[in-house]
Structure 1
């Protein structure tokens, strides 16, 4: 048997998956409203990433938002990673996929952050 705390944690995890990783709406939640809120959260994260990594936003242009959404869906941000590190991880993902060139010299520092 699970405790009330464990059940609540499971429900919260389902909600976060729905909001951040395109998961199904948990029981009792309106799927359309969750989809709207998820879009708001993704747009906010995308704007913050573009602010923190203007080099990526400039290089990708109109493709930035779609690629960030793809990255964010596959790699949802958690409270264990700060916004700058998350933006840098997005940059590393872009390099791995060949979307942007690997930085050289001092600019490569963001690629090696943990």
Structure 2
């Protein structure tokens, strides 16, 4: 009746699971080292697939950035993605950040937003 349970507490197990998930996420989106027990080749393929998905969505959301990058779009986006520790939250933010990256590279001119109609009418 006085046996000691050798298993880790539920709180400790959750903490370790959370750390393992963080390492896996870092390997997938931030170029981190693959966690123990994961095939680095397969993990690399999955990471490249996730960048390709981001790239295709960004091309649809920001056709101006896609056109400005031209034939270099793939290499430009991959360089942009590699320059970040993690993607921003959401595809729209990713697309806007990529466009800002292109502006910094001198490949995209800053768009001037015209005054909205209500401001012009308010006059």
Structure with the higher helix share, 1 or 2: 1
Q: 1:77 aligns with which of 61, 74, 87?
A: 87
2:71 pairs with 1:62: yes
Report 1:79-98 matches (<5 A).
81-98=89-106
Aligned 1:1-114 pairs, distance under 5 A: 3-75=12-84, 76-78=86-88, 81-106=89-114
**Which runs of 5 or more structure 1 residues have no equivalent in the other structure?**
107-114
Does the CA contact (< 8 Å) of 2:77 and 2:98 recur in 1? yes
RMSD: 1.9
State the TM-score, normalizing by the size of structure 1.
Answer: 0.80
Distance in 2, matches of 1:24 and 1:43, equals 20
Q: TM-score, normalised by structure 2?
A: 0.75
Bigger radius of gyration, 1 or 2?
2
- State the Cα deviation string for residues 38-96 of structure 1 (Å, max 9, x = none): 11111011000001011111111121121212222232225xx2211221111112212
Number of residue-to-residue matches in the alignment: 104
